Amino acid sequence: MRLFAALELPDHVVDELNQWWQSAQCFLKPSDWRPVSPHLWHLTLAFYGDVDGHDADDLAEALLQCAEKSPGMYLQSGGLGFFPRPARPRVFWAGVSEADEGKKLKRLAHCCRYAGHATVRKRTAGETAFRGHITVARSRGFPAAITPADFELIPEVSSISWCADRLSLFQSILQPDGPQYRRLETFELKGSAKGTRGLYV
């Protein structure tokens, strides 16, 4: 199973973000980009790739520990970009960060990455620096580079705030028209803001 850990988005966030997306997608060539359906939008914390069934149980237990020691947090949308870079775009994303500029989100992401490294031997703990984002479109083939002038045309992402209080483990099921996601388990974020640092080292 292809697995990843993520924070789901409340319905009102999806609805408001979709209003921005309806105007933003007009500046992307339909022949170059495949939109991600809004009901699939989420905030990925760690991607594990293929995981055997018995290893998935160990991974879920490790994620439960992350959730039990991680506090809920207020998040907000803002900013946009392209992965891996505008000159070679493959993913178009809307940014997400903590509303109070704290470190709880990054620490939770690091814990989820480390959980994969420790339980299923996936080196997610050593990946590139975490950047909170929601993937809203993926490239079809090799689209043209995004120039600074192109950036100027794309509307700014709406600023939307919400409380994240649950962590979920998902299965990614590859389909011809793009991946579909199945929630396997959900864990409530129960920790306090104090005493969580030791979990993320």
Q: Is 110 a catalytic residue?
A: no
Q: Which of 138, 136, 147 is nearest to 20 (CA)?
A: 136
Options 12, 54, 117, 133, the catalytic residue: 133
Spatial distance between the Cα atoms of 98 and 163, rounded to a whole number of angstroms: 10
Options 42, 54, 110, 117, the catalytic residue: 42
Q: Which of 83, 4, 7, 107 is nearest to 47 (CA)?
A: 4
Q: Which of 117, 114, 3 is nearest to 50 (CA)?
A: 3
Residue 193, classed as helix, strand or coil, is coil
Spatial distance between the Cα atoms of 71 and 73, rounded to a whole number of angstroms: 6
Q: Which of 76, 80, 118 is nearest to 97 (CA)?
A: 76
- Positions marked catalytic: 42, 133
